[in-house]
Structure 1
Amino acid sequence: LAGNAANVFSVYGERADNTLNYTSPNFGGFSAQAQYSFGEVAGSTSTGRQVGLSASYSAGPINVILAHHDQNVTAVAAGLTVDAGDAKTTFLGGTYDFGVAKLHAAYARSKGETAVGVTNLDRDDALIGVSAPIGAGTILASYIRRNDDIGGGTRDADQWAIGYTHALSKRTNLYTSYARIKNDSAATVGSPAAAGLDPSVFNIGVRHRF
C-alpha cells in the first residue's frame, strides 16, 4: 500500500501466539503492559519465547508510548525447530493533537544476533508525520528514514508519502495515496525487483468495514 509505514518502518516481532498479557490500571493517564509468549518447543523453555514490556501516557492532546520487545528467533533444521538467535526492538512513539492538525513521531532501534553471536540485525527507523482534518476527509503526510548499519550505509532507505481519505459513512471511505521510496544500492525496501531501485506507488480505492 502506498505510504504504509510498514514499508520502511518495520520492527521485529509483530505477532505472538500462546501469550500471557497483563495490562495495568490507568493511573492519571499512565498505564503499562507486560507480555510473555511461550515458545512451545519440545525440550526447551527458551527457544521461540517472546517478552514484551511497554509504558504509555495519554492525556489531553498527548499520547506517548515506550515499548521493548525481545524474541528468541527460531529456524527449522533437519525437521526440528532450533534456536536461531535473538532479536530486540525498542520503540518510542507519540502524537500531539493541535486541533487543526496532529503531529506523529516514532523511533525504533532494532538489533539481532545469530545463535553463534554474529550480528545480523542493526538498524534505526524514524518517522515524522502529520494528519489534518478537512471537512469529511483527512489529509496525511509522512517521511520515514532507515539507517541500516549491517550494509555499511548501502542498505539505507527513505520514504515520502502523502494521502487523503474521505468518509462516506461510519464504515465506508474513499482513499488515495502516493509514495516515493529511495533505496541505497543494497536496499530492497518496498519490495522492488532488485536492490537499489526507487519505486513509486499510487493507490486509489474504496474501503468498507463489515
Structure 2
Amino acid sequence: MKRLFVKSLPIAIALALSSGAAHAQSAVTVYGSLNVGLVASNFKTTGQTPVQGTNAALNNKFQMMDNSSLWGVRGKEDLGGGLYAGFSLEGGINLNNGTGGQDFATQGRLFGRNAEIKLGGDFGEFYAGYVLSPAGLQLLLAADPWYWNGNQAGMGWTIQQANYTQTNYLRTVGTIGYRSPDFNGVTFQLAYSPSNRENVYGTSKDIGGALTYRSGPLTVGVGFDRSHGLTNDIPTNHMYDIVGSYDFGFVKPAFSYTRSSVNNVDYTSYVLAATAPLGGAGLLKAAYGHLNDCLCNTTRSELSRISLGYQHNLSKRTNLYTNVSRSKAEGLSAANTFEVGVEHNF
C-alpha cells in the first residue's frame, strides 16, 4: 500500500494543481520534457575512457538511454503592491522503465531536480529549498550545447565543473538564496546552505554566487562555490568559473573555464563550443572539452571530448536529433558513441 501511494503521489499532485488552476485561474503550470535516445558505443566498464551517462557496456549495439527526462510544477501568486509568492517543484523520470529519476531511487527525492519556495518583487527574489548552486547553474547554461541533458555528446558536469561534483553535485540542501533584478544587463545570485545534513554527494554547508552581464547578443559571467566537502572537514573545497558567449546570428560561439580544488587536489577545465542554425528548422552543435585530470585511474589522466550534433525541430516542442562523440583519456583507449533520439516538451 505504501509503495502504491508513493508511486501515485506525483500524479495526484499534478492533477490537484492543474485542477486548481482551472477553477481558481491561479498561475500554476505543469510542464516537462521527455527525451530518449538509441545509443551505440564501444564503451567498456574497465580500461577505457568513461562516457557521460553510460554505466554499462553497450558492445556496439543500440541501447535505449533516457536523457534526463523530467516533469515539474511551478506557480506564482500576485500578492499586491508589486509582491509575489511562488514555488517550483521538479523531478526526474526514467522514461525507459517508467520509474522516478534524479535521486528518487537512491534518496527518495520526489523532486530531485528542484524544490523551492520564493518571495519576490522589484527588489529581486528570495528563495529557499533544494536548488542548483549559482555557479553550477551558470555553467549549465554556458558552453554545453546539450545542456547536460544526459546524452553521450554533452560536455557534462564532470568536465565543465572540473571534478567539483565530488563535493556538491550542483544541488545543495537546506539552501537560502537571493536573485537580483536586472541592473542594465547585470544580475547576480547568492546562496548559502547552513545545514549539516548529508546526502550521497557530500555535506551542504555551501556558499556560492554568480555575476552575469547580458547585453544583446553578448553574455559573460563569473561564478564561485565553496563547500566543506565530503566529510565537512577543513580544508574547504572551492570552484571558480568564467563563461561567455556571443550570438552572431549565423553562429553562436561560447566558452567556459573552470578551476577547482577538491581534497587538496587542483583541477582545471575548459570548453569551446558553437551552435549554428541550419535552414528554418535545424541546429548544428559542436563542442570540445578538456579536463586536466579525470581521475580515470590511479595516475594523472587528462581527458578530452569532441562532439558533433544535429537537431531538427519538427515543431516548437518536438525535435529529432543525432550526435557523435569521441572521448579520450591519457593512458586509456578512446570511447566513441553514436546516438539518435527524440525529445518532446510539454
TM-based fold match above 0.5: yes
1:51 aligns with 2:207: yes
Separation in structure 2 between the aligned mates of residue 25 and residue 67 of structure 1, nearest angstrom: 17
Separation in structure 2 between the aligned mates of residue 48 and residue 94 of structure 1, nearest angstrom: 28
1:111 match: 261
Q: 1:85-113 CA deviation, whole Å, 9 max, x = no partner?
A: 53211011111001100001110001122
8 A contact 1:52–1:67 mirrored in 2: yes
Q: 1:37-94 CA deviation, whole Å, 9 max, x = no partner?
A: 123349xxxx63000111000011101110000111234xxxxxx5475321101111
Aligned-pair CA distance for 1:16 = 1.0
2:308 match: 162
Separation in structure 2 between the aligned mates of residue 172 and residue 84 of structure 1, nearest angstrom: 48
Q: What is the TM-score with the length of structure 1 in the denominator?
A: 0.80
2:122 match: none
1:123 aligns with 2:301: no
8 A contact 1:8–1:144 mirrored in 2: no
- 1:123 alignment partner AA: Y
1:144 match: 289
Query: What CA RMSD, in Å, does the superposition of the two structures yield over aligned residues?
Result: 2.3
| 2:228 counterpart SS class | strand
Residues 40 and 129 (structure 1), Cα distance of their counterparts in 2 relative to 1, 3 Å cut: same
* 143-152 or 5-14: bigger deviation: 143-152
8 A contact 2:160–2:270 mirrored in 1: no
1:39 match: 195
Aligned-pair CA distance for 1:133 = 0.3
| 1:4 counterpart SS class | coil
| 1:166 counterpart SS class | strand
Matching residue within 315, 321, 330 for 1:184: 330
| 2:171 counterpart SS class | coil
- 2:173 alignment partner AA: D
Q: 1:132-170 CA deviation, whole Å, 9 max, x = no partner?
A: 001201001111111139889831011111000011111
- 2:275 alignment partner AA: S
Separation in structure 2 between the aligned mates of residue 6 and residue 84 of structure 1, nearest angstrom: 28
Matching residue within 66, 81, 85 for 2:222: 66
1:197 match: 333
Residues 60 and 72 (structure 1), Cα distance of their counterparts in 2 relative to 1, 3 Å cut: same
Q: Which runs of 5+ in 2 are unaligned?
A: 1-150
Q: Which runs of 5+ in 1 are unaligned?
A: 76-81, 114-118, 186-195
* 9-18 or 20-29: bigger deviation: 9-18
1:208 match: 344
1:4 aligns with 2:154: yes
- 2:319 alignment partner AA: N
Matching residue within 150, 155, 171 for 1:15: 171
2:242 match: 92
Separation in structure 1 between the aligned mates of residue 268 and residue 336 of structure 2, nearest angstrom: 23
Q: Which structure shows the bigger proportion of residues in strand conformation?
A: 1
Q: Which structure shows the bigger proportion of residues in helix conformation?
A: 2
- 1:36 alignment partner AA: Y
Aligned-pair CA distance for 1:7 = 6.4
Aligned residues: 184
| 1:155 counterpart SS class | coil
| 2:333 counterpart SS class | coil
| 1:55 counterpart SS class | strand
Residues 74 and 157 (structure 1), Cα distance of their counterparts in 2 relative to 1, 3 Å cut: closer
Separation in structure 1 between the aligned mates of residue 277 and residue 299 of structure 2, nearest angstrom: 38
Separation in structure 1 between the aligned mates of residue 299 and residue 291 of structure 2, nearest angstrom: 10
Separation in structure 2 between the aligned mates of residue 7 and residue 162 of structure 1, nearest angstrom: 18
Separation in structure 2 between the aligned mates of residue 51 and residue 108 of structure 1, nearest angstrom: 17
